[in-house]
Amino acid sequence: MKFELTQRPRRLRTTNIIRGLVRETRLSADTLVYPFFVVEGVDIKEEIPTMPGQYRWSIDRLYELLNEILKSGIKSVLIFGIPNVKDEFGSSAWDKNGIVQKALRYIKKYFPDIYCITDVCMCEYTSHGHCGIICGDYVDNDKTLEVLAKTALSHAEAGADMIAPSDMMDGRIAAIRKALDNSGYINTPIMSYSVKYSSAFYGPFRDAADSAPAFGDRKSYQMDFHNSREAILEAELDISEGADILMVKPGMAYLDVLKEIKNKFNKPVALYSVSGEYSMIKAGAKLGYIDEMSIVGESTVCMYRAGADILITYYAMEIAKLIKEGKIG
C-alpha cells in the first residue's frame, strides 16, 4: 500500500545523531547551582535523614565537598547556614562570625574559583523558625527588612558573590540593594526568590536546617499555590526594586509559572528544584519503583525546556555527570 504523507516527523528521529542535530533544549553544567548546608562544630559530615546523600558539613571538612563539586564541573553553590544559637531576632544571621560568614571566608580563601551565592532569610536563625521578626504572632514586614539588609551586607562583606533573599517580605529587594550599594557593593547581584510558594515540598529542608516554624505556617508571606497572576506581580515588583535574576520555587510542579515568568520578563530566570522533589525521587528509587538517574535526567531536561536559565538542585553533580556522559543535553 502506498501512502502519500508529506509530513513525517519520525524522519528526524531515526538516529542519535539526527536527534542531536534537531534537539531544542541544550544543557550545560555552567547553569547548575548546588545547594548545601554548613554547621558549626568540627569534623562533621552528617547525613540528613530525609535527604539521603545530602549532608550537614562543618567548615573544616568542607574541602571534601568543594573538591567534589569542582571535579564535577559545577561552578556555583548556594550556601545555607545552621547556627549554634537561635534567638527571637535571628541575630546570628548578621554576625561577622556567623556560620555563613565564616564559611564564605574559608571558601574564598581556599576555593576562590567557586561562585558563592548565599540564601538570605531569618528562619534558620530565629528561635520561632519564622522568616522574620515576630510581633504577636504576625511576622512584621518592615522590621524584618532591616535585619535582612544587615544580613545581606554581612554576607557581601564576608565574600559572597551573589545574594539570594528567600524570605518573601515586601520591599526586601529595595532594602537589600540599598544596603549593598551604600557600602560599595554595586556589583553584587541579587537573585530574588521572587516567586516562592508556601509549599509542603520544603519539608525535608526544614529537617535539614531545623527551621520549621514553631507555630503557624508561612502562608502570610509565601505565596498561595492557587495563584499564578500574583507571580507576575511579585516578579514585576522585584525587577522595579533592582533584582538581577528572578527565581521560581519549587520546580517540577510549578513549570507553568516558570514559563510565564520567562516569557514576560527580560531577566534570567532560575528554578529551584527543592528538597521534597529530591527526596521523592530518592525514596521511589530506593523502593525500586523508578530508575533514579533516568527520572533525574528527564525531569531536569523538562525544567530547562520550560524555560529555566539556571537550575538549583541537590542533584547538580549527578546531572553534570549525565551531561558529560551524553545521556542528556
Q: Which residues are tagged catalytic? A: 196, 249
- Between residues 131 and 310, which has the closer beta carbon with respect to ligand PBG? 131
Q: What's the min distance (Å) between Cβ of 162 and ligand PBG? A: 15
309 phi/psi in degrees, rounded to 5: -90, -30
Count of residues of this chain found to bind ligand PBG when the rule CB under 6 A is applied: 10
121 binding ligand PBG? (CB under 6 A) = yes
Contact criterion met (CB below 8 Å) for 73 and 302: no
Q: Does 139 bind ligand PBG (CB under 6 A)?
A: no
276 or 297: CB nearest ligand PBG: 276
92 binds ligand PBG (CB under 6 A): no
Asked if residues 131 and 139 have their Cβ atoms less than 8 Å apart, the reply is: yes
The DSSP element (H or E) to which 78 belongs, if any, is strand 76-82
Burial letters 6-20, b for 16+ CB under 10 A, else e: eeeeeeeeeeeeeee
Output the smallest distance, CB 219 to ligand PBG, in A.
Answer: 11
Q: Measured at CB, which residue is nearest to ligand PBG? A: 205
Among 32, 38, 79, 123, binds ligand PBG (CB under 6 A): 123
**Separation between Cα atoms, residue 27 and residue 300, nearest integer Å:** 9
**Angle (deg, nearest 10), helices 229-241 and 172-182:** 20
- DSSP letter string, 32-72: EEEEEEEESSSS-EEEETTEEEEEEEEGGGHHHHHHHHHHH
- Tell the smallest beta-carbon distance from residue 242 to ligand PBG (Å): 20
Please tell me whether residue 55 binds ligand PBG under the rule CB under 6 A: no
- Is residue 131 close enough to count as binding ligand PBG by CB under 6 A? yes
Measured from the CB atom, the residue of 300 and 329 that comes closer to ligand PBG is 300
**Pattern 175-214, binding to ligand PBG, x per CB under 6 A?**
---------------------------x--xx--------
Contact, 300 vs 315, CB < 8 A?
Answer: yes
How many whole angstroms separate alpha carbon 156 and alpha carbon 128? Answer: 26
Q: Which one, 117 or 293, has the nearer CB to ligand PBG?
A: 117
Contact between 253 and 280 under an 8 Å Cβ cutoff? The reply is no
Chain position carrying cell 530525609: 50
3-class DSSP assignment, residue 84: coil
Q: Is 36 a residue that touches ligand PBG (CB under 6 A)?
A: no
**Minimal distance, residue 203 CB to ligand PBG, in Å:** 8
Question: Which residue's entry shows cell 504572632?
Answer: 137
Contacting ligand PBG within 220-239 (CB under 6 A): none
Q: Which residue has the cell 555527570?
A: 321
Q: What are the residues whose beta carbons fall under 8 Å from the beta carbon of 71, sequence distance 6 or more?
A: none
Lay out the site mask for ligand PBG across 275-294 (x = CB under 6 A, - = otherwise).
x-------------------
As a whole number of angstroms, the distance between CA 67 and CA 63 comes to 6
Query: Quick one: 123 or 323, whose CB is closer to ligand PBG?
Result: 123
Specify the stretch interacting with ligand PBG by CB under 6 A; choose among 119-127, 137-145, 231-239, 284-292: 119-127
Strands (DSSP E) found in 197-250: 245-249
Q: Among residues 81 and 297, whose Cβ is nearest to ligand PBG?
A: 81
Identified binder of ligand PBG from the candidate list 83, 119, 247, 320, rule CB under 6 A: 119
Among 247, 274, 301, 310, interactor with ligand PBG by CB under 6 A? 274
Footprint of ligand PBG (CB under 6 A): 119, 121, 123, 131, 166, 202, 205-206, 274-275
